[in-house]
Structures are given as structure tokens and as C-alpha cells.
């Protein structure tokens, strides 16, 4: 079974600064997908970024980028030029590729989350 660990329960950053959220995972799979989702106070789950494990290039989406270290099983999220609207709980998630037998399917396995607060 896969496990995802986010060791930082809470973080804070000043507006316009850069912050990095950590995520590590444990798997015996060689092919998989990794995701970062954010959950603002509205509780909506919003996709931030996705990384395919077979790709060496780190994914980027505007101010959001990842540092994917496959050998270290590390997948950190960097947020540049932090904005007040970035205040949210951030979840790291793992998906096996291809999906496993019927008992595992295409499920997402989530970490515990990191609460990020952006201060003005």
C-alpha cells in the first residue's frame, strides 16, 4: 500500500514571498502520478498541479512548481509570489499507474495536509 506524508501541519508566509511545502511518499510502484490539491476555507478541493513519475521535467503552473525527486520519493510544492488567496490547506496525493487490481483502482491516496497562511 502507498503512504503519503506531509510533515508540516502548518506554515505561514508573507505576501509576495516564496514558500515550499514538503511531501514524501512510499511506494514500490515505478509508474505513478502525484498531485497537489488545495482546499481553501470554502472546503472545495481544487487541483493545483500534476506530475507524471515517468517525466523528468518538473511540472509548473504559473506561480506553482514542483520539485520531484523520484529516488528520494519526494514531491515538494513551491509557491512563488504568494497571494492572500493562496491561504488554504494543501494536500499531496498519489495515484498508481496503471491502476491495480479491483481492490485498488484509480484511487487517490492523500497526505494529512499542510495549512498554509499567507499574511499581508
Q: Which stretch binds another protein (CB under 8 A): 7-15, 58-66, 79-87, 101-109?
A: 101-109
35 contacts another protein (rule: CB under 8 A): yes
Candidates 56, 72, 102, 120; binder of another protein (CB under 8 A) is: 102
Backbone angle region of 62, left / alpha / beta, with phi > 0 → left and psi within -120 to 50 → alpha: left
90 contacts another protein (rule: CB under 8 A): no
Beta strands 109-110; 10-14: pairing state: unpaired
Instruction: Answer yes or no: are the C-beta atoms of 48 and 34 closer than 8 Å.
Output: no
Residue ranges binding another protein (CB under 8 A) = 33, 35, 37, 42-47, 50, 91, 95, 97-99, 102-110, 112-113
Amino acid at each position: 500500500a502507498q503512504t503519503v506524508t506531509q510533515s508540516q501541519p502548518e506554515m505561514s508566509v508573507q505576501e509576495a514571498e516564496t514558500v515550499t511545502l514538503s511531501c514524501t511518499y512510499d511506494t514500490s510502484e515505478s509508474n505513478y502520478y502525484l498531485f497537489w490539491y488545495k482546499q481553501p476555507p470554502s472546503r472545495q478541493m481544487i487541483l493545483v498541479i500534476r506530475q507524471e513519475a515517468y517525466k523528468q521535467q518538473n511540472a509548473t503552473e504559473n506561480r506553482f512548481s514542483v520539485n520531484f525527486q523520484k529516488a528520494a520519493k519526494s514531491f515538494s510544492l513551491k509557491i512563488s509570489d504568494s497571494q492572500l488567496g493562496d491561504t488554504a490547506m494543501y494536500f499531496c496525493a498519489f495515484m498508481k499507474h496503471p491502476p491495480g487490481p479491483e481492490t485498488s483502482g484509480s484511487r487517490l491516496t492523500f497526505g494529512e495536509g499542510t495549512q498554509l497562511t499567507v499574511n499581508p
